[in-house]
């Protein structure tokens, strides 16, 4: 029996009102509602399995991504899943390079986010049909088959398919031992949950204390709105976590290039490992200037959660404009495009420390980074994966954290499946949570 023909694709707008408690707040996004365009695909295969995929958003605009998913569905429905997987590179290019839709991209923006959600669902279904968690599907894959999933267009000046094959072949040495290590110890993580910009000091102190008691040693602080307040909050966190633990900073694109250099120089006393997204995510030369200026201070530049595609990552790597690559499982074109960035990062010897600060992102990106360690990078030096403690209870297979590390998922699939009750309850605007919130808001405005 084959894998089946895709007979249906559905997408819903799922929003969690995190803005009410300032969860996720930063210098550029003071009131985010963690949300997702949530895709379900089904086939006519007798196994009855479904694939689930999502792309992360911040509330408003999710309806635009949902509309893009519906438009792209024509490339998916009635496709044979074996045909997709058998020519995944070709299907990826077809989906992301539609002759008319690419005009409002190409490979960026709402259409690319929609493509990621659909592709994430396909990978989830493939892994389920193989009876493996996604990371294991990738680890067990023959290098040539894995490379056949990647579109190398526009990046061959930085990484050829032949070079990528050599990297994967070299990664076979010690792979079994690294997999055993992951299963035993997990992948090291850092927490962003303690120091969202909207949190008052008492809450920040309490969360830092709890995290320390739970074994966390790596902490990230949101900065960028006010220098004096940043200095005060960084001092508070540094005093809480002590000199031996790790501190990172995240400005979420708030600054001009020279402003970033000046601002971070003033925060250097708190010994941050990196400054994340110091300026526009599209400014490769600006990042390079910042990286060069901050290098003597021992502060690296991290970026990637808003990088449109593999081409932006290619340029950042070529320009030596970043010290840490922050791939995102939903911003890039799903696993396919993330694989190309992991391989480029390996060639340029830049550590990958994924972005995971959103609904479902921890669930997804853990698979990518565990694969990266086992089959590509082969090292944990200067590497860690972001973790936030919000909203995992809404997923059927939530992340498992032990000793401040991601434990490899065991359930088949990509860990993308939400609980049905949660997806229904928080569907915008029909879900009961949003009906109540919108009703209360309307009543407040009338009174």
Q: Is 355 a catalytic residue?
A: yes
Q: Which residue has the tokens 């044979």?
A: 80
* CA distance to 34, 74, 106, 141, 345, per residue, from 148 (Å): 34, 23, 21, 11, 19
At residue 298's C-alpha, the angle toward residues 404 and 214, to 5°, is 15
CA distance 162 to 156: 10
Choosing from 108, 128, 220, 222, which is the catalytic residue? 222
* CA distance to 34, 222, 316, per residue, from 293 (Å): 34, 21, 16
* CA distance to 60, 102, 323, 338, 348, per residue, from 380 (Å): 37, 38, 15, 18, 16
Longest dimension (CA), the chain: 69
Q: What does R_g of the chain's alpha carbons equal in angstroms? A: 21
Tokens found for residue 131: 């009876």
CA distance 176 to 189: 22
Tokens found for residue 344: 């480029």
β-sheet bridge partners, residue 15: 35
Cis geometry, peptide bond prior to residue 429 (ω within 30 degrees of 0): yes
CA distance 83 to 335: 18
Choosing from 23, 289, 355, 390, which is the catalytic residue? 355
* The three-state (H, E, C) secondary structure of 121-134, written as one string: HHHHHHHHHHCCEH
Catalogue the active-site residues. Answer: 222, 355
């Amino acid at each position: 029996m084959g894998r089946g023909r895709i007979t249906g694709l559905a997408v819903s707008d799922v929003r969690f009102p995190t803005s009410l408690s300032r969860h996720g707040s930063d210098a550029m996004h003071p009131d985010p509602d963690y949300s997702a365009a949530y895709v379900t695909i089904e086939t006519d295969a007798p196994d009855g399995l479904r694939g689930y995929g999502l792309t992360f958003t911040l509330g408003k605009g999710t309806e635009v991504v949902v509309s893009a998913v519906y438009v792209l569905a024509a490339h998916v429905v009635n496709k044979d899943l074996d045909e997709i997987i058998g020519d995944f590179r070709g299907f990826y290019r077809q989906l992301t390079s539609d002759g008319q839709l690419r005009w409002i991209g190409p490979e960026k923006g709402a259409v690319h986010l929609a493509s990621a959600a659909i592709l994430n669902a396909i990978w989830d279904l493939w892994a389920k049909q193989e009876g493996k968690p996604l990371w294991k599907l990738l680890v067990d894959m023959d290098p040539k088959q894995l490379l056949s999933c990647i579109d190398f267009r526009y990046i061959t000046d930085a990484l050829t398919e032949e070079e990528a094959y050599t990297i994967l072949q070299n990664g076979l040495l010690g792979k079994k031992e690294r997999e055993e290590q992951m299963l035993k110890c997990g992948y090291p993580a850092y927490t962003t949950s303690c120091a969202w910009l909207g949190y008052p000091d008492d809450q920040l102190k309490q969360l830092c204390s709890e995290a320390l008691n739970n074994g966390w040693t790596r902490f990230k602080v949101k900065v960028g709105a006010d220098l004096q307040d940043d200095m005060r909050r960084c001092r508070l966190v540094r005093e809480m976590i002590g000199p031996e633990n790790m501190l990172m900073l995240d400005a979420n694109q708030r600054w001009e290039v020279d402003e970033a250099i000046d601002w971070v120089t003033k925060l250097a006393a708190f010994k941050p490992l990196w400054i994340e997204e110091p300026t526009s995510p599209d400014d490769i030369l600006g990042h390079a200037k910042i990286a060069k200026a901050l290098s003597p201070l021992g502060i690296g530049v991290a970026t990637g959660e808003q990088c449109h595609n593999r081409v932006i990552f290619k340029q950042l790597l070529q320009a030596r404009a970043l010290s840490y690559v922050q791939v995102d499982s939903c911003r890039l074109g799903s696993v396919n495009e993330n694989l190309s960035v992991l391989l480029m990062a390996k060639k340029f010897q830049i550590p990958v420390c994924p972005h995971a600060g959103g609904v479902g992102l921890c669930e997804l990106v853990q698979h990518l980074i565990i694969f990266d360690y086992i089959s590509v990078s082969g090292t944990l030096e200067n590497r860690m994966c972001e973790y936030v403690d919000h909203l995992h209870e809404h997923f059927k297979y939530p992340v498992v954290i032990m000793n401040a590390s991601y434990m490899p998922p065991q359930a088949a699939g990509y860990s993308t499946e939400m609980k049905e009750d949660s997806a229904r309850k928080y569907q915008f605007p029909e879900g009961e949570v949003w009906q109540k919130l919108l009703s209360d808001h309307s009543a407040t405005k009338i009174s």
